[in-house]
């Protein structure tokens, strides 16, 4: 295994009762990279995490994390990683400090190293003023930051985060990502899964996952440019009816709705005037429109539609 690679998979597959959850996954994640695994519920993200953290054995294939085989060296892997699952086990009747100390015990962190590490993690996550508060009394965003502090107490080389910002308010999501960027500066490798496609644009590279398969992996901007056809954004107070009117029109490849906006993929720019004209002739008020760079969500939807 290449020394610059933190995670590598080879035809990694997991089948449950005849259903393929992870399908021949081939993935390389470099050391010090923040890789985003993106897809809807049921895409196989959590199963992939459990395979790579050696919690679950694959049906076939192999993977290596921090240089160790998930099949032959599972215990060695667990020493070098931090894993924050969707239902991370905080103890709500313990304080912030007691939770961190509990995980320090769990990971056998040497006593002499604990004070400095704990002080740093509390400051890192802005939890110092709340170290005596019961975990059960924390907000959702603060619980996530405490969970992250707990998995970092043993200074892991590779960090696995399974949808850590799911259900967290926007401000807390922003704070959480700031912490992740700080970890990158310390050369920690991070694999994060998310159903928020807008979040994926914060990653070094992104893998789009659907029904157990990796559809594409690349840098966010490269993925956004991969659609290869123009996209326009249209503002209308009647976006839903507008979508129904033009979704099968000539020159329209795909239409997605975002509140009062439509993202319309067209086969050529010349189709724009016809589309706007058709909407207006059907009584749809078009407030404004412009050509845009597709979002990762636009690319993902287009790829899924093709399949």
pLDDT in tens, 161-214: 999 988 888 888 888 899 999 999 989 999 999 988 888 899 999 999 999 999
Closest to 150 (Cα-Cα) out of 96, 92, 225: 96
CB 125 within 8 A of CB 179: yes
pLDDT tens for each residue of 109-121? 999 999 999 999 9
- Residue 31, classified by CB atoms within 10 Å of its CB into exposed (0-12), middle (13-18) or buried (19+), is middle
CB 266 within 8 A of CB 272: yes
> What separation in angstroms does the CA of 240 have from each of 251, 261, 277?
19, 9, 17
Phi, then psi, of 233 in degrees rounded to 5: -110, 125
Choose which CATH entry (3.20.20.80, 3.40.50.300, 3.40.50.800, 3.30.750.24) describes domain 5-224.
Answer: 3.40.50.300
| pLDDT recorded at residue 197 | 84
Domain with CATH 3.30.70.100 in the chain: 227-306
CA distance 270 to 33: 41
Fold of 227-306: Alpha-Beta Plaits (3.30.70)
CB 85 within 8 A of CB 162: yes
What mean pLDDT, rounded, does the chain reach? 92
- Of the given ranges (96-100, 122-126, 207-211), which has the lowest mean pLDDT? 122-126
CA distance 30 to 32: 6
Strands 68-69 and 213-218 turn out to be: unpaired
| pLDDT recorded at residue 165 | 87
Domain with CATH 3.40.50.300 in the chain: 5-224
- Residue 288, classified by CB atoms within 10 Å of its CB into exposed (0-12), middle (13-18) or buried (19+), is exposed
Banded pLDDT at 253 (limits 50, 70, 90): confident
């Amino acid at each position: 295994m290449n020394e610059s690679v933190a995670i590598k998979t080879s035809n990694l597959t997991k089948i449950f009762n005849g259903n393929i959850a992870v399908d021949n996954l081939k993935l390389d994640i470099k050391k010090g990279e923040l890789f985003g695994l993106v897809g809807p519920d049921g895409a196989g993200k959590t199963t992939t995490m459990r395979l790579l953290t050696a919690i679950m054995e694959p049906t076939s294939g192999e993977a290596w994390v921090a240089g160790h085989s998930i099949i032959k060296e599972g215990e060695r892997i667990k020493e070098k990683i931090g894993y924050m699952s969707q239902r991370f086990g905080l103890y709500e009747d313990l304080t912030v400090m007691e939770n961190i100390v509990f995980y320090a015990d769990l990971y056998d962190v040497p006593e002499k190293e604990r004070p400095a590490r704990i002080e740093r993690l509390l400051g890192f996550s802005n939890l110092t003023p709340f170290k005596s508060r019961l975990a059960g009394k924390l907000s959702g965003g603060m619980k996530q930051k405490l969970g992250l502090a707990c998995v970092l107490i043993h200074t892991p080389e590779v960090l696995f985060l399974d949808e850590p910002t799911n259900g967290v308010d926007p401000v807390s999501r922003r704070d959480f990502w700031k912490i992740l960027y700080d970890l990158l500066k310390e050369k920690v490798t991070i694999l994060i899964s998310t159903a928020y496609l807008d979040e994926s644009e914060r990653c070094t590279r992104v893998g789009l996952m659907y029904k157990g398969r990796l559809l594409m992996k690349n840098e966010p901007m490269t993925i956004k440019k991969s659609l290869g056809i123009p996209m326009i954004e249209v503002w209308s107070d009647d976006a839903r009816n507008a979508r129904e009117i033009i979704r099968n029109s000539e020159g329209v490849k795909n239409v997605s709705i975002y509140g009062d906006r439509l993202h319309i993929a067209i086969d050529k720019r010349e189709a724009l005037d016809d589309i706007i004209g058709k909407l207006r002739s059907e009584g749809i008020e078009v407030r404004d429109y412009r050509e845009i760079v597709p979002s990762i969500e636009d690319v993902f939807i287009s790829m899924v539609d093709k399949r």
